[in-house]
Chains A and B, each alone.
Chain A
Amino acid sequence: MKILLLLIPLSLAFLAGAIWLFFWAVNNGQFDDLDTPGLLPLDDAPRHKEPPP
């Protein structure tokens, strides 16, 4: 059962990492709008870079 002494801290470290990552994502607005990004795959590279005057 000694392996637990390695595996448990490891799992806790993973857990802390996952929560930190999630907090980072939330604070960066990744979850603010869950409706709009459904359109993002349709975003082709713009054909005209400069807008007309």
Chain B
Amino acid sequence: MPRDSNCWHCGESLAGSVVAHATVAGQKRAMCCQGCRAAAEWIEQLGLSDYYELRTAPAPKPDAGDSTHDSWQDADSSRHVIRDLGADLRETLLLIEGVRCTACVWLIERSLGAVPGVVSVQVNAVARRARVIWQESKITLPQLLQALSRTGYRALPLDAGGLDDLRRSESRDALKRLVVAGFGAMQAMMYATAIYLGAAESLDNSTRDLLRWLGLLVATPVVLYSARPFFTGALRSLRASRVGMDVPVALAISAVYAASLIEAVRGAGEVYFDSVSMFVFFLLTGRYLEMRARHHARDLTDALARLTPPFAERALEDGTFKRVGIHELRVGDRVRVAEGGIVPADGVLLTERCRVDEALLSGESATVTKRRNDPLIAGSVLEDGPVLLRVERVGADTALAGIAALVGRAHAERPRLQVVGELAAGRFVARVLTLTAITAAVWAVFDPARAFPAAIAVLVISCPCAFALAVPAALTRALGAMARRGVLVVKPDGIQALAECTHALFDKTGTLTEATLSLGELRTFDGVSHDAALRLAATLARQSRHPVARAIAAAYPAIEAADVRDVTTHAGAGVSATIDGRTLRLGRSDFALAGKPLAREFEDAVLLADDRGPIAAFRITERLRPEACAAIAALQARGMTVLIASGDSASKVAAIASRLNVGTWRARQLPAEKLAWVAELRETGARVLAVGDGVNDAPVLAGADVAIALAEGAELTQASSDIVLKGGRLDAIAAARDIAQRTLAIVRQNQRWALYYNFSAVPLAALGFIPPWLAALGMSLSSLGVILNALRIGSGDATPRTARPEHSPAEPFPRPAA
């Protein structure tokens, strides 16, 4: 592990500038900042240094000082985030930023649990939420948040009665219903088996009646309790005058149950308590699997929940400021935002000018200069300040809330595969019910005594369980298989799109190459010293957050005071500013020189220039990701066309493309041009898979058929993508595509199989050839077949873990299947 080139705590590249050292587990480790040092020492002092052995991802970088904690002191603003459990106990739900692996959970639980007054801490790694119970007499909420931020995690208290409770009760209810149905089905099957065997062994009538009543006893809770979601769902869709899957299912359940009930009371004919319980159990299994997949997907993208700050500083009449909760803001309020703060609501700038980062909305990773009366958007980050703004839109009316609602709606929607499957199953059940009615009617003419049993046999044998399980079983299995390979599917629709894509469009910087760049060669002109050129360039580069600028800034860590004015960032070109009275430009050669000619060899270098001409040329080196070659070769071997689109110069892109054996590439592409290329490809009938990491890739990702974001990239990029790739493992894409294709194949296989089974079984049942035990057996076996078939997805072909060594010392805890 390259311990000296990266910060031991947060893994950030040190670029030769070790700021601090801390002793962890008896060894001196290099740290990139004082915050990391403090966090590492705190962890060490708590005796929790095992964290560094357990973790599978670098720790979050701690913030130097977070003043917002104190705001929670105010009883008014904290009331809605604290639940009173009585007797001095309070409960809070925290959304924790920076939970990256399960070792984080361990660290948070231990370090917070050690704080006096904390009664219990429960962290959910997947949902990134912590449930903390504490004693009010011993500790306050701000102290709690403070303790957490010392280890480097930022926490945001969530509304106490929020989403989680709803979700918790949903999953608890589903589990209870499932288990009641499972136990009921088992017992009912036992009694039914006795009856079926007894029919051959001449069971006496009183015992047979007893067994029937017992069947009724165990099936009743299954129908009345476990199957209730089907009945309420059927009622709801009837009221909305739609016929979904619930209506025919509810009809089938009640018909079989009522028929069996009548037979049990009459003491004649056949009872189907085992079938009806099994029926409910299989259907609930499908629902449960689907619910878990849905919850899992939603956990991954709650990024938008914390893009706006919980507080704002409102200007009062007398010119002072008061901190208020964001929900208290009204249109027309004047609000102050400090430097580095987040704009709390959409508004208009009242101060002369400021620079903001609107990356989360525009997808452009560059600061924008705003002047008086320009609009500011909630969620954008202020680069300088403080500024004053007048609130124009608040809460649900802001542009950000609109995006959040879009993302939320996309997640609330059920996968297309699922919807199509359900529609097919609903139609199928409706047909079966018709068929049952026809069977009963025909038999009523020829032999009324056999009408009822034959109709019920048709209903039981053709149960839609196999149909209902086909999609969720395959989807759940696929999500789990992909998660084990480091591919997190955020939107289940992505599986279908991934299987069908024909072209793969890669971003170069940060995607095919490592996220951090380093400064390679430096050439100066006109006898300027290396040091002086680097100092100027680094001062200028600090004004931008572009990876190239960061590489230059990191090469000259000593910060010297300079008079920097008129900083302007030109998207895709560079940055310009006036430093100590001299107008300087840093960026692409055509931008920096403003059209002046230059030797060809510097065309693709980063240039520092003033109005007189070039001062220095920098070469930025980037390393290919170790897996990039194999990943691209694997995709090409599967018949996909691989393309590269980059904002970088032609020679650099060509070099990378030839190393990767990629024939088609475009250089010097702006985000809009990349998007146009995707649209162009799609018009020719191609299905495009886009892979990117930064916010500047967000438009391309949104325009592609399926979008894959790297987990190291920007949060919003991840939120707008279909699939998130953990640890930059590009080689997992090909494996994930194989799994997706197999999933689609298996879903189709399952559906076809269920159809064939029903085609062959229903006529026999209608003719009265199927005894009840065979109907029950057929029903169970068809469902079992579907589940076993789904288990074939992702089995046996697991690729060896090739997680990048510097970030993943080991992965001792394979994540369980979703």
Give chain A's interface residues, CB within 8 Å of chain B. Answer: 1, 4, 8, 11-12, 15, 18-19, 22-23, 26-27, 29, 31-36, 38-39, 42-44, 46-52
* A22 and B115 alpha carbons, distance in the complex (Å): 33
CB-CB under 8 A for A8 and B214, given A35-B125, A36-B124, A51-B46: yes
Contact indicator A36/B125 (Cβ below 8 Å): yes
Contact indicator A48/B813 (Cβ below 8 Å): no
Residues of chain A within 8 A (CB-CB) of B124 are 32-33, 35-36
Chain A to chain B: the 8 pairs with minimum beta-carbon distance, closest first: A47-B47, A48-B47, A51-B114, A33-B124, A52-B45, A39-B106, A26-B172, A36-B125
Shortest Cβ distance from B149 into chain A, in angstroms? Answer: 14
* A19 and B42 alpha carbons, distance in the complex (Å): 46
Shortest Cβ distance from A25 into chain B, in angstroms? Answer: 10
Contact indicator A48/B176 (Cβ below 8 Å): no
CB-CB under 8 A for A39 and B47, given A19-B180, A19-B183, A34-B816: no
Contact indicator A35/B114 (Cβ below 8 Å): no
* A46 and B113 alpha carbons, distance in the complex (Å): 10
Residues of chain A within 8 A (CB-CB) of B110 are 43, 46
Residues of chain B within 8 A (CB-CB) of A11 are 187
The residue of chain B having its C-beta at the shortest distance from the C-beta of A31 within the complex is B175
* A23 and B180 alpha carbons, distance in the complex (Å): 9
CB-CB under 8 A for A38 and B168, given A23-B176, A48-B47, A52-B42: no
**B102 in the interface (beta carbon within 8 A):** yes
Among B147, B168, B813, point to the contact of A32 (Cβ < 8 A): B168
Contact indicator A39/B103 (Cβ below 8 Å): yes
Contact indicator B175/A26 (Cβ below 8 Å): yes
Among B116, B122, B813, point to the contact of A39 (Cβ < 8 A): B813
Shortest Cβ distance from B47 into chain A, in angstroms? Answer: 3
Contact indicator A35/B815 (Cβ below 8 Å): yes
Contact indicator A26/B816 (Cβ below 8 Å): no
CB pairs A–B below 8 angstroms (9 shown): A8-B210, A26-B172, A34-B816, A36-B105, A36-B125, A42-B106, A43-B106, A50-B114, A51-B46
Residues of chain B within 8 A (CB-CB) of A19 are 179-180, 183
Residues of chain A within 8 A (CB-CB) of B373 are none
* A12 and B147 alpha carbons, distance in the complex (Å): 51
Shortest Cβ distance from A4 into chain B, in angstroms? Answer: 7
* B242-285 interface (Cβ within 8 A of A): none
The residue of chain A having its C-beta at the shortest distance from the C-beta of B184 within the complex is A15
* A35 and B815 alpha carbons, distance in the complex (Å): 7
Contact indicator B176/A26 (Cβ below 8 Å): yes
Residues of chain A within 8 A (CB-CB) of B171 are 31-32
Give chain B's interface residues, CB within 8 Å of chain A. Answer: 42, 45-47, 50, 54, 102-103, 105-106, 110-111, 114-116, 122-126, 147, 168, 171-172, 175-176, 179-180, 183, 187, 207, 210, 214, 217-218, 813, 815-816
The residue of chain B having its C-beta at the shortest distance from the C-beta of A32 within the complex is B168
* A15 and B183 alpha carbons, distance in the complex (Å): 7
Residues of chain B within 8 A (CB-CB) of A12 are 187, 214, 217-218
Contact indicator A22/B179 (Cβ below 8 Å): yes
* A13 and B748 alpha carbons, distance in the complex (Å): 43
The residue of chain A having its C-beta at the shortest distance from the C-beta of B102 within the complex is A39
* A14 and B40 alpha carbons, distance in the complex (Å): 52
Shortest Cβ distance from B110 into chain A, in angstroms? Answer: 7
* A15 and B230 alpha carbons, distance in the complex (Å): 24
Residues of chain B within 8 A (CB-CB) of A29 are 122
Shortest Cβ distance from A47 into chain B, in angstroms? Answer: 3
Residues of chain A within 8 A (CB-CB) of B115 are 51
Contact indicator B46/A38 (Cβ below 8 Å): no
Among A4, A18, A42, A48, point to the contact of B46 (Cβ < 8 A): A48
Among B102, B114, B207, B813, point to the contact of A4 (Cβ < 8 A): B207
* A40 and B126 alpha carbons, distance in the complex (Å): 16
Residues of chain A within 8 A (CB-CB) of B172 are 26-27, 31-32
* A38 and B103 alpha carbons, distance in the complex (Å): 10
Contact indicator A15/B114 (Cβ below 8 Å): no
Contact indicator B122/A18 (Cβ below 8 Å): no
Residues of chain A within 8 A (CB-CB) of B217 are 12
Shortest Cβ distance from A8 into chain B, in angstroms? Answer: 6
* A33 and B42 alpha carbons, distance in the complex (Å): 28
* A23 and B173 alpha carbons, distance in the complex (Å): 10
Among B111, B116, B816, point to the contact of A35 (Cβ < 8 A): B816
Residues of chain A within 8 A (CB-CB) of B116 are 51
Among B45, B102, B105, B813, point to the contact of A51 (Cβ < 8 A): B45
Shortest Cβ distance from A3 into chain B, in angstroms? Answer: 12
The residue of chain A having its C-beta at the shortest distance from the C-beta of B813 within the complex is A38
* A8 and B774 alpha carbons, distance in the complex (Å): 25
Contact indicator A33/B122 (Cβ below 8 Å): yes
Shortest Cβ distance from B455 into chain A, in angstroms? Answer: 31
Contact indicator A1/B207 (Cβ below 8 Å): yes
* A12 and B34 alpha carbons, distance in the complex (Å): 64
The residue of chain B having its C-beta at the shortest distance from the C-beta of A9 within the complex is B214
* A27 and B171 alpha carbons, distance in the complex (Å): 11
Residues of chain A within 8 A (CB-CB) of B103 are 39
Among B45, B54, B126, point to the contact of A42 (Cβ < 8 A): B54
Most chain B CB within a 10 A radius of its CB, from A23, A34, A36, A46: A36
* A20 and B687 alpha carbons, distance in the complex (Å): 52
The residue of chain B having its C-beta at the shortest distance from the C-beta of A46 within the complex is B47
Residues of chain A within 8 A (CB-CB) of B175 are 26, 31
Given contacts A31-B172, A33-B126, 17 further A-B contacts (CB under 8 A): A8-B210, A12-B214, A12-B217, A22-B179, A23-B176, A32-B168, A32-B171, A33-B124, A35-B126, A38-B816, A39-B105, A43-B106, A44-B50, A47-B47, A48-B114, A51-B147, A52-B42
* A51 and B218 alpha carbons, distance in the complex (Å): 54
* A15 and B816 alpha carbons, distance in the complex (Å): 29
Most chain A CB within a 10 A radius of its CB, from B103, B116, B123, B179: B179
Shortest Cβ distance from B375 into chain A, in angstroms? Answer: 42
Residues of chain B within 8 A (CB-CB) of A43 are 106, 110
Shortest Cβ distance from B205 into chain A, in angstroms? Answer: 12
* A22 and B226 alpha carbons, distance in the complex (Å): 15
Shortest Cβ distance from A36 into chain B, in angstroms? Answer: 5
Shortest Cβ distance from B340 into chain A, in angstroms? Answer: 29
* A49 and B114 alpha carbons, distance in the complex (Å): 7
Residues of chain A within 8 A (CB-CB) of B176 are 22-23, 26
Residues of chain A within 8 A (CB-CB) of B45 are 48, 51-52
Contact indicator A38/B102 (Cβ below 8 Å): yes
The residue of chain A having its C-beta at the shortest distance from the C-beta of B299 within the complex is A35
The residue of chain B having its C-beta at the shortest distance from the C-beta of A5 within the complex is B210
